[in-house]
Structure 1
Amino acid sequence: MDDRTFTADAEPGDRVTVAGWVHEVRDLGGIAFLILRDKSGKIQVKFEKDEMDDDLVETGLGVHRESVIAVTGAVEEEERAPTGVEMLPESVDVLNEADAELPLDPSGKVDADLSTRLDNRTLDLRKDEVKAIFEIRAEILRAVRDYFRSIGSTEINTPKIVATGTEGGTELFPITYFGEEAFMNQSPQLFKQLMVGSGLERVFEVGPIFRAEEHNTPRHLNEATMIDFESAFIDHEGAMDVCEGTLKAAYEAVEENCAEELELLGYDDFATPEGDFPRLTYEEAIERINATGELDTQLVYGDDLSTEAERALGDDVGGHYFITDWPSEIKPFYIQDYDDDPETSKGFDLMHPRMELVSGGQREHRYDALVEGFRQQGLDPDQFDYYTKMFKYGMPPHSGWAYGVERLVMTMLDLENIREAVLFPRDRQRLSP
């Protein structure tokens, strides 16, 4: 429909064709109104029954909600209309009639549970507030990509089908690859490290990862979208600087460009985090968690942080913060340890008060130390020869990290369930749609 006009662009005095979905029909007797909805908004179409062709009125008022129609007519100013204008139809073409019974109400007047919404995601995304989440998600990704480019980072795409896993402790999804066993990749970690040893030096990727962990929580997915960053010639402190920069760039872009979406979602005090994010060592974090008195059992050095511990510390800090200098045994084999303290790693996490957002650190770039890290974590270095051998040929010092996009959206918008931040979630119960 080359001559289509979006409803938001229809001005008094224009003669236009608009196309979209029947949002609502209100019949008041001698006069009736049809509300047509498209991606830009809504427009009121007025039917004056005594002054219009009977077939036109019957077509316009007889069509079911959520049917797809095109309306051609004049646009007039009308202060009482929801958007200040209305159309007087000359023709109504029904492009696709919807069933009279809908599995959920896109107008939002009747609530549906999350499972029903996800089963009917196309209808669910016709609700303005749901659509707003994904407009904000898209703006986050645009802003992050722009930030990466501003610091000289090249976007890459790495394989999602691999021969070996990236992390020993995470379950893998096996697949059959031309008669051989392969796996869906848990992370682009090893590939992005190889790229910092190439002529690219500084890279980022936005793409899917797959983890076969049998969790069933409001903040976990088995397929997620990650924002990965890796750079040569920076240490873990520099990597944290970039990490903080991307998060603030995302918030600033949403604050500046998504006012309408934020209003739809009820955020009247949305603001970009200010100031530098605190950087607590793991040991300091343990002490602060224990001091809150929120846990039944005191943490000791070497414990990982439970959900309850993360929230106790998040409430105490009150904003985004980093945890640095984790015990070596907690972090993956590729995280570098301090030369003068091999029990402590240069790994870090970026935390939101509700949960972990980012895991990162400085990587081990020295071949012998890297191979020893494999052995210490019970992994066979020979299975990763494609990766380790490149460290013999001049691998520079480098650092990086990875965000979960869905967690970033979830925490930014204070969503109750991470599945609200992904179009078609994949978890233990959901493989379709």
Structure 2
Amino acid sequence: MSVTVAGWVHEIRDLGGIAFLILRDRTGKIQIKFEKDELPDELVERALSVHRESVLSVTGEVFEEDRAPTGVEVVPSEIEVIAAADPELPLDPSGKVGADLSTRLDNRTLDLRRDEPRAIFEIRSEVLRAARETFRDLGSTEITTPKIVATGTEGGTELFPITYFGEEAFMNQSPQLFKQLLAASGLERVFEIGPIFRAEEHNTPRHLNEATSIDFESAFIDADEAMDVAETFVRSVYEAVQENCQDELETLGLADSFTVPEAGFPRITYEEAIQRANAAGVVDEQLTWGDDLPTEAEKALGEEMDQHYFITNWPASVKPFYIKDEDDDPEVSTGFDLNHPRMELVSGGQREHRYEELVEGFEAQGLDPAAFEYYTKMFKYGMPPHAGWGMGAERLLVTMLDLDNIREAVIFPRDRSRLSP
């Protein structure tokens, strides 16, 4: 049977009277066999003189060969060098010679010819596909909200200012305000998967300045029901990866250890969380009501919980203005976080749907309600109770695949030191 295959030169083994060229594409590798005495010299020379990562097209006959990588090999009759590669490569796509993360990110196209990083992004693609399917099964409508805004979603210093036709504008930190407005529209239940931007000062293995946010918002649900959706979502995407990405998990060495989180994620209150952190003795000073949980406390809690878990009933003072307080205690909010043992994944809660209370929340956090009139005025026109959450897609991948650095989960990451490629 005659076939034509094309791909990159992965390896050449010249053994004297016989030589083998391994051609690679996204589906795998195939062996091209050269018995030099039986093939034209010009054809053999053309094939064996190219450098690794050159792009070839090979036409020839297919034969069974148990010793070949795929159980078959091609004896060529025609070879075309489509694109020759420079002999000096900045990294080794075969993986035999390692490269540091910075070199890999500088040469991401070559890096993604390696099996391991390609597997990560095949899994990421499956996670996003399953995310959309899960949200649709939950009766949600996909939305796309502006990424250039007149005011910051959450205020503060983590804003990227830009010039917009002579006026100051910002890259959006979150679709939060827009998705609330759409939960109050005829759509009622919405989701978005899209970029967010934060002028994050930290440059650590868990921070990015451009990330992908997975957001959910629904009218007529409360914080408990929003947590139910978050748990359903996490388990659904894990199930999809387990079902559809076994080859990729095998490539990453995770096929035997990858499991779907069990249903019934524990829910502990913020007060209980700081008590447990204090008891673990991992913080220099005892945490008190209103303190944020430092990294050491999150790590200790994660080790103790040893599974996904929620922290509920956060102090109202540490949550954004749009989070509703408990009706019987204005010091306690309906805000919640969903944590993996390694890090926080989700921030959410029930939203304040009452106009007067919302405006008071703005003022309490030093924000000018007039700057957000496009948002606040809609609360005068029949705003239903609603709740939702946001999740970082990269953090989900980091925890799902046990990655060392969040940049491993982004094809072209943006951080304080990287604006190219």
Which residue is 2:101 aligned to? 114
The alpha carbon displacement at 1:90 in A equals: 0.9
**Aligned counterparts of 2:356 and 2:2: Cα–Cα separation in 1:** 74
For the 8 Å contact 1:236–1:347, the answer to whether it is kept is yes
Q: Which residue of 2 aligns with 1:62?
A: 49
1:164 to 147, 151, 158: 151
- 288-297 or 301-310: bigger deviation: 288-297
- Unaligned 5+ segments in structure 2 are none
- Which residue in the other structure is 2:382 paired with? 394
- Equivalent residues in 2 for 1:18-417 (5 A)? 18-267=5-254, 268-417=256-405
Structure 1 counterpart of 2:406, one-letter code: I
One-letter amino acid of the structure 2 residue matched with residue 313 of structure 1: L
SS at match of 1:157: coil
> How far apart, CA to CA, are the structure 1 residues paired with 2:83 and 2:266?
55
Structure 1: segments with no counterpart, 5+ residues: 1-13
8 Å contact kept, 1:168–1:377: no
Please give the per-residue CA displacement for 1:263-301, whole angstroms capped at 9, x wherever unaligned.
100112110011310000000111111122233322111
Query: For the residues of structure 1 that align with 2:174 and 2:263, how far apart are their CA atoms?
Result: 31
Contact 2:200 2:207 in 1 (8 A): no
Aligned partner of residue 208 in structure 2, secondary structure: coil
Q: Secondary structure at the match of 2:80?
A: strand
Q: Is the 8 A contact 2:323 2:349 kept in 1?
A: yes
Amino acid in structure 1 at the alignment position of 2:312 = T
Distance 2:295 2:5 in 1: 50
| Contact 2:205/2:406 (8 A) holds in 1 | yes
Q: Give me the whole-angstrom Cα distance separating, in 2, the residues matched to 1:139 and 1:234.
A: 28
User: Matched residue of 1:86: which SS?
Assistant: strand
Kept after mapping to 1: 8 A contact 2:352/2:385: yes
1:418 aligns with 2:403: no
* TM-score of the two chains, using structure 1 as the length reference: 0.96
Deviates more, 1:163-172 or 1:333-342: 163-172
- 1:157 corresponds to which letter in structure 2? T
- The separation in 2 between residues aligned to 1:105 and 1:415, in whole angstroms, is 21
SS of equivalent to 2:302: helix
The answer (yes or no) to whether the contact 1:162–1:183 under 8 Å persists in 2 is yes
How many correspondences in the alignment?
420
1:12-54 superposed Cα distances (whole Å, 9 cap, x missing partner): xx32111110000000110000000001111000011010011
Describe how 1:7-22 pairs up with structure 2 within 5 A.
Answer: 14-22=1-9
Equivalent residue letter for 2:165: F
User: What letter matches 1:101 in structure 2?
Assistant: E
Query: Per-residue deviation at 1:197?
Result: 0.8
Q: Deviations over 1:74-112 (max 9, x none)?
A: 111101111111111111101000001000000000000
Give the drift of 1:170.
4.6
SS at match of 1:419: helix
**C-alpha displacement of 1:428:** 0.3
Q: Tell me the CA shift for residue 375 of structure 1.
A: 0.2
Give the conservation status (yes or no) of the 8 Å contact 2:235–2:263: no
Partners of 2:420 and 2:64 in 1: CA distance: 45
State how far apart, in whole Å, the 1-side matches of 2:283 and 2:70 are: 53
Which segment drifts farther, 167-176 or 309-318?
167-176
Q: Which amino acid aligns with 1:366?
A: R
Percent of aligned pairs with the same amino acid: 75
Q: CA deviation at 1:131?
A: 0.1
Give the distance between the partners of 1:355 and 1:162, measured in 2 at CA: 29
Deviation at 1:171, TM superposition (A): 1.4
Alpha-carbon shift at residue 247 of structure 1 (Å): 0.4
Note the C-alpha offset of 1:169: 3.0
- Distance in structure 2 (CA, Å) of the matches to 1:263 and 1:114: 22
CA distance in 1, matches of 2:415, 2:205: 10
Q: Deviations over 1:115-135 (max 9, x none)?
A: 000000000000011100000
**2: distance between equivalents of 1:169 and 1:304?**
16
Contact conserved, 1:292 with 1:316, CA < 8 A, in 2? no
2:193 maps to amino acid: V
Does the 8 A contact of 1:166 with 1:189 survive in 2? yes
> What is the CA–CA distance in structure 2 between the aligned matches of 1:275 and 1:203, rounded to whole Å?
24
Kindly provide the amino acid, as one letter, of the partner of residue 348 in structure 1.
Answer: F
Moved over 4 A (4+): none
- Judge conservation of contact 2:221–2:385 (CA < 8 Å) in 1: yes
Name the SS of the counterpart of 2:419 in structure 1.
Answer: coil
Once residues 298 and 98 of structure 1 are traced to their aligned partners in structure 2, the CA distance between those partners, rounded to angstroms, is: 60
CA distance in 2: counterparts of 1:345 and 1:389, whole angstroms: 23
Deviations 1:331-362 (A, max 9, x none): 00000001110000000000011110000000
Tell me the TM-score normalised to structure 2 length: 0.99
Q: Using the alignment, how far apart are the partners of 2:77 and 2:262 within structure 1?
A: 54
